[in-house]
Each structure stands twice: as structure tokens, then as C-alpha cells.
Amino acid sequence: MRGDSAPARDAESAHRLIAAAQSGDTAACGRLIELHQQRVFRTARAILGNDADAQDAAQEAFLGAFRHLASFDPKRDLAAWLYRLTVNACRDMTRRRTRVGTAEIDTEALVARDPGPFEATALQEQRDLTRRAIARLPYKERAAVTLRDLEGPTTAEVAVALGTTQAAVRSQVSAARSKLRRYILGDRRSQR
């Protein structure tokens, strides 16, 4: 019984926090940032490839959130809305970066554990290979596979974040996974 009421309390607490932020409570705004900043940053870093751009995108996402917070329906999922704002900020930065000609992917978010001394070289090679493979993906596929496979929201949540359908997300993730396999296998074969 106790576990059943915890999600309800969490949702009720989140609704109160959002309502307080909407009424101008700066402490509530700060708490919302604290609760979501790591997820927003991780998502942006995985999509954009480096900490500096990810920090800029996360800041832009939160600025957009607070700019439009008054019109946000507290019954909606705040995390999904923030994902969407983050993806939009990343897309804008990618467009700007494409004009400049850079496309670097940081795969630190891809590996969650520290390597042992014998794994370090192999792990770095895998990171470099993965970085190159992700960088070759079209933006929509890169965003979809990053959100779905690295951050872990449901397909429905990714669809909301990307402003598309669940079918489109499934298609983009499938295509991205297939291309990543081909890129990685192709790169490994060419190194032999």
C-alpha cells in the first residue's frame, strides 16, 4: 500500500511546486531547476557532444521553460515538456554549428562505469568509434536514439519531446540503431 501512494504524493508535490513557480516563487523555480538540471544537461550533452554547448542548450531550455511557465498546464508531464525544450535548443545549436562546420559528439554519457587498467585503451577506442558513428547520424535519428536509448524515457515521451508520433520515433530509433551497427562494424573492418 505504501508504494502505491508514493507516486501520487510525488505528483501532488510536483503540481504544488509548479503552481508555486507559476505564481512567482523564485525558490520553487530554483527547486524545479535542481530536480531536472542533470537530466536536461545529460540529454543536451549526448545530442550536442560537448559540455559547453550542452550547458548553453540547458540554459536555453530552462529560460524557455520559465518564459512560458505561466501557460504550462501543471497536469502535464513537466519532464516531457523539458525534454522537448531541450531537444529544440539542441536543434537550434546544431543548425548554428552546421553553419560553422563543427560536429563533435561526447560519449561520456554513454559509459557509466570506470574502466579497469586493462580496459582503458579498448574503452577509449569504443568511445571514439561510437562518437564518430553518432556524429554521422542525421539530427532527428541522433536525437531520437539519444533520448530513447541513453536517457530512457518511453517512446511516447520521446515523441512528445520531439514533437512527432510514436511511430516516427520507433522508425528513427530503428534506423539509427541499424546505421550505428553498420558504421561501427564498417569502421572495425576497415581497421583490420
Cβ distance 184 to 130 under 8 Å? yes
pTM for the full predicted model: 0.61
**How many other CB atoms are there within 10 angstroms of residue 36's CB atom?**
20
CA atoms within a 13 Å half-sphere pointing along the CA-CB vector of 131? 18
User: Mean pLDDT over all residues of the chain?
Assistant: 77
Identify the DSSP state of 115: P
51: domain range?
Answer: 2-190
Whole-angstrom distance, CA of residue 48 vs CA of residue 53: 7
pLDDT at 171 over 50: yes
**pLDDT tens, 40-52?**
998 888 888 778 8
pLDDT class of 139 with cuts at 50, 70, 90? confident
The grid cell for 117 is: 587498467
For 168-171, the CB contacts below 8 A with 24+ separation are 169/144
Tally of structural domains, the chain? 1
Q: What is the mean pLDDT of residues 90-109?
A: 59
The percentage of the chain sitting over the pLDDT mark of 90, rounded to a whole number, equals 7
| Residue appearing with cell numbers 500500500 | 1
Nearest to 123 by CA among 135, 107, 138: 107
- Give the H/E segment covering residue 92: helix 78-100
Q: What is the CATH number of the domain that holds 86?
A: 1.10.1740.10
Worst-scoring range by mean pLDDT, 36-45, 110-119, 129-138, 179-188?
A: 110-119
Q: Which residue has the higher pLDDT, 96 or 91?
A: 91
Worst-scoring range by mean pLDDT, 15-29, 64-78, 120-134?
A: 120-134
Q: Given this model, what pLDDT does residue 110 score?
A: 45
Q: What is the mean pLDDT of residues 139-150?
A: 84
